[in-house]
Structure 1
Amino acid sequence: MKKLLIILLMACCVWQAWDYTHPQPVDRYVVKVTAAEGDTLWHLVGDTMQREGDRRDVREVIFYTKKISNLQGDLQVGDVVLIPIEASKK
C-alpha cells in the first residue's frame, strides 16, 4: 500500500512538472463592456471571465481592469469597462 501511494505521489509530481514546463497557449484580448444600472465591477468582470473561459483569480483581473479602464471610485452607468481576458486556445 505504501509503494502504491509513493508511486501515485511521484506520478502527480511528474504531471505537475510537465504542466509547468509546457504551458498551454492562450489568447489575450480585451472585452469592452458598458456599465448599466445596478452593475458592479465584480459582476461585470466575473461574468465576462466565465463566458470567455478565463480561469484567473477575479481580483487580479479587476485590478488590471481598473487600471486600463482608468476607473476611479464607484462604477457609474455608462462607464466603459475594458476587461483583459486570457483564455486557453481551443
Structure 2
Amino acid sequence: MTRTVFCRKYQKELEALPFPPMPGKRGEELFENISKQAWEEWQSQQTMLINEKHLSLMDPNNRKYLQAQMERFFNNEPFDKAEGYVPPEK
C-alpha cells in the first residue's frame, strides 16, 4: 500500500515521497508534509530557476535563494518563475 500525506501545497491527502528528499530535519519535515506530486513540480521549477538565472549550487547565497523560493512554492505564495518560459501545449 502506498503511503500518503496531507500535502501542505494541495491541502489534501496525496501519495507521499518514498524517502526524505534531503538529509536532516528539513528533509524529514518535507517527507511528512509534501506530496510526491508537489515535490516533482518543485523540482521542475527549481531546474528552470537554476538554468534561467545561472545559479551555482556551490554558492551559499544561491542555495538560500532556492530554499526561500521552495518555501514560497509549497506555501502557495508568489515565487520567482523562469522568465519567458511557455509551457508546451497538450
Q: Larger Cα Rg: Structure 1 or Structure 2?
A: 1
Task: With the length of structure 2 as denominator, give the TM-score of the two structures.
Answer: 0.31
Q: Which has the higher contact order (CA 8 A, sep 6+)?
A: 1
Name whichever structure is richer in strand by fraction: 1
